[in-house]
Structure 1
Amino acid sequence: MALPQQVRVKLSSEAAEYVALTPVVVQDLPFAELMQHVATASGTDATRVREILKRGTLVSGASRFRWEGWVCDEADAEAAVALLPKPEPRRRLDAACCRKATLASATSRIDVPREAAEPRRFLRRRSFWQCLLEASGEARYLTYSYRDRADHYRVELSAEACEQLKKDTDLLKFDGLKQQIRMREFDHIHWVVGREAVKD
């Protein structure tokens, strides 16, 4: 059968504390969006995709999706996989699309969401987010994440750049995040970058 444009799904929470309380929501989901959840849960193998579409249920994150399953042939399964975004190693890091930076090392990770680092403090011309972007030299493409629906990049940092970012934490509004960055060690930035510009 031809691939549907939309699939009617029943959506419920898998969070243990809400099992008995969360109502089931019924909605028409674009098939391409359902495929993103399929890829998040089980990857992009066409045989596995066929099994999930036939079974009519999957868990993605904290949500369970259920729909009336159907049998699709191998060609349709491959066409479904073809709808998914693919890694693009030649894709350059676009600052306007950056959602989150993680200051990291082999033993440490400090997540820095854009909404926490982008606001400027009173009478300051720059934000910590700008400092992160300015510290990011050559970015190495890593992969595309179906869970994040974003491309991932890595930027190596010199010792001097790390120390400067610790000083730049004065630009942050959140004391907890400020202290984490100052007290922990990191040697690179891991960027999560969508394929559309972040809306203000």
Structure 2
Amino acid sequence: MALPPTLRVKLSSEAAGAIAITPVVSQDLALSELLQVLLAAAGYDVARVRDLLERGSVVNGATRYRWQGFQAEESDLAAALAQFPRSDPSLLFNAAKCTRAVLRGRAARVELTAQTAGRRRILRRRSYWDALLAECAAPEYREYSYRERADLFVASLDAGRAARLREAAKLLAYSALEQQIRCGAFDHVELWARR
């Protein structure tokens, strides 16, 4: 059976909490949008995506997607999935495409967007984002995330680099964020770069 260009999908909330009645929303979803959701759940695995299409249901985050399940030819599905990016270990880090960084340690996690960390304090020439990218100049490629729609790069931090990042926190325009970074013990940074 050829793949349909659009599917009627029912969306409902799977958020945990007290007993609540949430509306079920029906909408026509392009096949490419549904495949993006399925890739986030199953990864780039044609057999698993095919199985999910046949089942007609998947949960992504706090949303359940339901549709009339159907059998897809493996060759048609492989051709449809070919439009999506795949992990590419040969990819080099491009700081200009980096949109988000997550400083991580055993008990610490601080998430920064390029926009937030890129704001400069008055009379400062550099931003915290500049300092962060300078310390993480050659991160290691990990994978492409369909959920984030970005490539993940990881830079390990030795004690000296972690200390320089804590010291550079004074460049941040937000004092609460500065305090979180100064108090954190970070051992690596995750860098997310769009393609």
Is the contact made by 2:106 and 2:185 (CA closer than 8 Å) also made in structure 1? no
Separation in structure 2 between the aligned mates of residue 193 and residue 22 of structure 1, nearest angstrom: 35
Q: Which stretch shifts more, 141-150 or 14-23? A: 14-23
Give the whole-Å Cα distance in 1 for the aligned partners of 2:148 and 2:47.
23
Structure 2 residues not aligned, in runs of 5+: none
Name the count of aligned residue pairs: 195
Q: Which residue of 1 aligns with 2:174?
A: 174
Distance (whole Å) between structure 1 residues aligned to residue 18 and residue 154 of structure 2:
37
My pick for the range that moved more, 14-23 or 97-106, is 14-23
Q: Which residue of 2 aligns with 1:72?
A: 72
Whole-angstrom distance in 1 between the partners of 2:85 and 2:20: 35
Distance change (3 Å), C-alpha of 1:158 and 1:16: closer
Alignment of 1:63 with 2:58, yes or no, is no
Unaligned runs of 5+ in 1: 196-200
CA RMSD of aligned residues (A): 2.2
* Kept after mapping to 2: 8 A contact 1:13/1:19: no
Partner residue, 1:198: none
With normalisation by structure 1, the TM-score equals 0.85
**Residue 31 of structure 1 aligns with which residue?**
31
Deviation at 1:101, TM superposition (A): 0.9
- 8 Å contact from structure 1 (residues 124, 171) kept in 2: yes
Structure 2 distance, partners of 1:114, 1:21, is: 38
Aligned-partner Cα distance in 2 for 1:4–1:119 = 45
1:43 aligned residue: 43
Offset at 1:127? 1.4
d(CA) in 2 for partners of 1:44 and 1:19?
Answer: 35
Cα distance change of structure 1 residues 44 and 185 upon mapping to structure 2, 3 Å threshold:
same
Per the TM alignment, residue 82 of structure 1 is displaced from its structure 2 partner at its CA by 2.9
2: distance between equivalents of 1:86 and 1:18? 39
Change (3 A) 1:18 1:60: farther
How far apart are residue 19 of structure 1 and its match? Answer: 7.2
Other-structure match for 1:191: 191
With normalisation by structure 2, the TM-score equals 0.87
